[in-house]
Amino acid sequence: QQQQYHHHHHHHHHTTITTTTIIITIINISNSSIINIFIIIIVTILIILNHIITIITCITIEHRHHYHHHHHHHHHHHHSLLNYHHHHYPHHLCV
């Protein structure tokens, strides 16, 4: 059942997790072992870090894209690199 909860929890990783939600979750499981509390905290931190990394990656790629686009006539040999980045980091990730 705990596995099922974890699986369900991961399906909502795209939603912003508030401090209140974290506190309520900790209170709800406070009667179980301290290990479970640590696991939930770690998972929450990892989800938040994943969001931050995705956002930073998207911003960096956007910046590079604009830079290369602006100086396109000076950097013809960078076009393949730009295509590489676009292929591996699709724009639909940047939400």
More confident residue, 23 or 82: 23
For 18-37, letters b (16+ CB in 10 Å) and e give eeeeeeebeeebeeeeeeee
Domain boundary assignment for the chain: 36-95
Distance CA 75, CA 79 (A): 7
Distance CA 90, CA 62 (A): 11
pTM across the whole model: 0.33
pLDDT digits (tens, 9 = 90+) for 14-71: 456 677 787 777 777 666 677 777 888 888 899 999 888 888 888 887 777 665 555 5
